[in-house]
Amino acid sequence: MLHTVNKSPFETSTLLSCLRHAREGDAVLLIEDGVYGALKGTTVAGEIWPRKGQLAFYVLGPDLEARGLDKSRLIDGFKVVDYGGFVDLVAEHDVTQSWL
Amino acid sequence: MGAYVLNGVEIPHDEEGYITDLGNWSKELAVLIAKDENIEMTDEHWEVVNFLREYYEEYQIAPAIRVLVKAIKKSLGKEKGNNKYLYELFPYGPAKQACKIAGLPKPTGCV
Amino acid sequence: MASEADKPEAEGAEGGGAEVTKKFLYVNRKAPYGTIYALESLEVVLIGAAFEQDVSLAFLDDGVYQLTKNQDTKGIGVKNFSPTYKALGDYEVTKLYVEKESLAERGLTEADLMEITYEDEDDDWAEKPSIRVVSREEMAEIMAEQDVILSF
DSSP state of C29: -
| pLDDT tens-place string over residues C94-109 | 999 999 999 999 999 9
pLDDT of residue B110: 55
- The burial of C75, by beta-carbon neighbours within 10 Å (0-12 exposed, 13-18 middle, 19 or more buried), is given as exposed
Q: Which residues of C touch A98 (CB under 8 A)?
A: 151
pLDDT of residue C125: 87
CATH (residue range B2-101): 1.10.10.370
Segments making up each domain of chain A, as ranges: 2-99
The distance of B68 to chain C (nearest Cα, Å) reads 9
- The burial of C58, by beta-carbon neighbours within 10 Å (0-12 exposed, 13-18 middle, 19 or more buried), is given as buried
Output phi, psi for C145, to 5 deg. Answer: -85, -5
Q: Which residues of A touch C144 (CB under 8 A)?
A: 1, 23
Contact C58, C143 (CB under 8 A): yes
**Is B64 in CB contact (< 8 Å) with chain C?**
yes
How far is the C-alpha of C77 from the C-alpha of C112, rounded, in Å? 24
- The burial of A39, by beta-carbon neighbours within 10 Å (0-12 exposed, 13-18 middle, 19 or more buried), is given as buried
Output phi, psi for C26, to 5 deg. Answer: -100, 120
Segments making up each domain of chain B, as ranges: 2-101
pLDDT of residue B106: 85
**Sorting pLDDT into bands at 50, 70 and 90, what band is C18?**
low
Report CA C69 to chain centroid distance, whole Å: 17
Q: Residue C125: how many CA atoms within 13 Å on its side-chain side?
A: 4
Catalytic residue at B110? yes
Cβ–Cβ contacts within 10 Å for residue C86, how many?
17
Domains and CATH numbers, chain C: 22-151 (3.40.1260.10)
**Sorting pLDDT into bands at 50, 70 and 90, what band is C121?**
confident
How far is the C-alpha of A28 from the C-alpha of C149, rounded, in Å? 15
SS3 A70: coil
How far is the C-alpha of C152 from the C-alpha of C39, rounded, in Å? 9
Q: Of B31, B67, B71, B110, which one is the catalytic site residue?
A: B110
Antiparallel, parallel or unpaired: β A56-60 and A79-81: parallel
DSSP state of C19: P
C47:B66 CB<8 A: no
For CA atoms C13, C18, C20, C23, give the dihedral sign: negative
Task: Inform me whether the pLDDT recorded for C13 exceeds 70.
Answer: no
Ranges of beta strands (E only) in C48-130 are 54-59, 96-99, 117-120, 126-129
How far is the C-alpha of B62 from the C-alpha of B57, rounded, in Å? 9
| pLDDT tens-place string over residues A19-61 | 999 999 999 999 999 999 999 999 999 999 999 999 999 999 9
Share of residues in chain B with pLDDT > 70 (%): 96
| pLDDT tens-place string over residues C19-41 | 789 999 999 999 999 999 999 99
Ramachandran region, residue B77 (left: φ > 0; alpha: ψ -120 to 50; beta: rest): left
Question: Of B42, B38, B43, B11, which Cα lies nearest the Cα of B26?
Answer: B11
Q: Which residues of A touch C27 (CB under 8 A)?
A: 97
In the A/C pair of chains, how many CB contacts fall below 8 A? 42
pLDDT of residue C5: 43
C87:B61 CB<8 A: yes
How far is the C-alpha of C137 from the C-alpha of C140, rounded, in Å? 5
Q: Which residues of C touch B64 (CB under 8 A)?
A: 46, 49-50, 91
Task: Inform me whether the pLDDT recorded for A75 exceeds 70.
Answer: yes
CATH (residue range A2-99): 3.40.1260.10
Which of A1, A15, A17 to probe by mutation at the C interface, max C CB count within 10 Å? A17
How far is the C-alpha of C121 from the C-alpha of C100, rounded, in Å? 28
Output phi, psi for C14, to 5 deg. Answer: -95, 15
Residue range B3-7: average pLDDT? 95
